[in-house]
Amino acid sequence: MIARHTLRATVGLASAALAVGVLAGCGTGGADPEDGTLTFVTYTGGDAALKYENLIEAFEEANPGVTVELEEVAGDTSYDQLIRSRIQAGTAPDIFEVLNGVGGMRPYVEADLLTDLSDEPWVAHLLPSIAGQAAAIDDREYAFTTQVSTQGLFYNKAIFEENELEPPADWDAFLDAIETLKAAGVTPAAVGGADGWTLWLQTIVQAVNQEAFQEANSAAAAALLDGSEKFSDSDEWREVLEGFQELVELGVYDPNASGIDFTASANEFANGKAAMLVQGDFALNAVRTANPDIEIGYVPFPAVDRGDEAAVALSPGGILAIPTDAPNAELAKEFLRFLAEPANMAAYLSAAAALPSLDNVEAGDVDLDPALVEILPAVQSKSVDGSFLGLTPESTTALQTGLQGLLTRTMTVDAVLESMDQAQTRP
């Protein structure tokens, strides 16, 4: 337990030392407003160099005398301390990547540290779910979201064709497909139930189709977060859990699903033992590694009534903000505008193997996995940010545990909701 304090102290010291080092470094040049050097800080792990390399080169070519310095910093607890101490020391980066999504951006906005970007031309093209969630803080836009990651329903095209199935567009069609697949002796869907988060994901794709959660920073989610509404009393979460339970009762998953992990579930889907996989788009990598020849379709999870349009669950990535104290704020805005041009965005997304946050990027222009291309129109037509469903880290853990309970038929929906309430409440 206590080791963490010491660790935190060490991290604090280290980042302080880092900040001092940066200060010393900048004293010799870097931050001079006149020299046209754009400092761009990202956190490691995002393959930033790979994704931005060509675009930075093109930007420098289009703007003679300008250089963009890309800095990659460890994206751990010290990241925000580093950014803040640089802002305080007057050596703010011109652009930095916000850690931990819109939630991570909030403290900066509240401290008035970010440049208002609401009047930038690309704002009109941001997907409503992306623009809305960020604007929910104070009605303004403070960042450019470069990409989104999605969660939805992968299906094996060959198996679907064999059984004369169309990708399901609503809940009834989904249940029909399940019956057909079961009758054909195919496990309808794979899930790695030993990894609690894979089960959590099965409910996120349902929850984003609950109307009450579809508005940015919805009242329903806010009430769950501040404790004024209990999960036990939430019709939305009850319906989601009952939906999951219904699928378990129907035998959608392998009877051993609780004993296999994510990788095993991806293998099961890749090898045609299961016809569907509800996962995030990152799962494509695991599936294609296990079976490069598989033909995969990808659609929003159809937790909707007949005739309604299902929403894609997504979360924003690569959120770029400009500090109010950025020495080259105008140039930084210029860079973001350049990045947001459809052709440049398409190049970026091809390198990042990711889906766009803008509605003016054409599927045909981006070199993406066919599965991602298939879901792109749905992403641009109707998507909901899956990180605003009223869950805290504690209730998320309780939800994951509870879903394992539902999967192994050892817990009731009521008991799961109650355990989420117990976890959400703080002393």
Partner 1 sequence: MNVVDRAGLAQAGPARTSPRPRMSAPRDRGRRSRVHRNPVARWVIILPALILFTVVMIAPVAVNFVYAFTDWDGFAPTFDFVGLDNFARILGDSAAIASVRNTLVFTVVNGFAQVGLGLLLALALRRPGRFVAFLRVVIVFPIAVSGVVIGLIGNIIFSPTFGLLATLGDVPGLGALAQNWLGDPQLAMGTVIAMNLWQWTGLTMLIFVAGLVGIPAELYEAARIDGAGAWHQFRHVTWPLLAPAATINIVLTMIGGLKVFDVILVLTNGGPGTATRSLVMQVALQGSTNYGYSAALSLVLTLFIIIVTGGLLMLLRLRERAT
Site string for partner 1, 1-40 (x = CB under 8 A): xxxxx-----------------------------------
Place of tokens 């206590």: 2
Q: Residue 156: enclosing H or E segment and its boundaries?
A: strand 143-156
SS3 246: helix
Phi first, then psi: what are they for 351, rounded to 5°? Answer: -70, -35
402 scored as a contact of partner 1 (CB under 8 A): yes
Q: How far is CA 166 from CA 14, 174, 305, in A?
A: 56, 10, 17
Contact present, 95 and 334 (Cβ < 8 Å): no
Per CB under 8 A, which region of 144-152, 172-180, 259-267, 292-300 contacts partner 1?
259-267
189 binds partner 1 (CB under 8 A): no
Alpha-carbon distance of 361 to 185, in angstroms, equals 41
Residue 81 binds partner 1 (CB under 8 A): no
Query: Which window, 178-186, 239-247, 250-258, 328-336, contacts partner 1 (CB under 8 A)?
Result: 250-258
Strands (E), 300-399: 312-321, 383-385
Among 320, 404, 413, 417, binds partner 1 (CB under 8 A): 404
User: Which one of 398, 399, 413, 417 is in contact with partner 1 (CB under 8 A)?
Assistant: 398
Using CB under 8 A as the binding rule, the residues of this chain from 97 to 156 that contact partner 1 are none
Beta carbon of residue 263, minimum distance to partner 1 (angstroms, whole number): 10
Rule CB under 8 A: say whether 88 interacts with partner 1: no
Comparing CB distances to partner 1, the nearer of 360 and 422 is 422
Cα dist. 298→88, 264, 289 in Å? 46, 20, 17
| Range 383-419 burial, b when 16+ CB lie within 10 A, else e | bbbbbbbbbeeebbbbbbbbbbbbbeeebebeebbbb
196 lines the binding site for partner 1 (CB under 8 A): yes
**Helical axes 235-250 vs 413-424, angle rounded to 10°:** 140
- 260, 322, 358, 389: which one contacts partner 1 (CB under 8 A)? 260
Listed ranges 31-39, 123-131, 230-238, 390-398: which one lies at the site for partner 1 (CB under 8 A): 390-398
| Chain contacts with partner 1 (rule: CB under 8 A) | 1-5, 193-196, 255-260, 264, 267-268, 392-394, 397-398, 401-402, 404-405, 407-408, 410-411, 415, 418-419, 422-423, 426-427
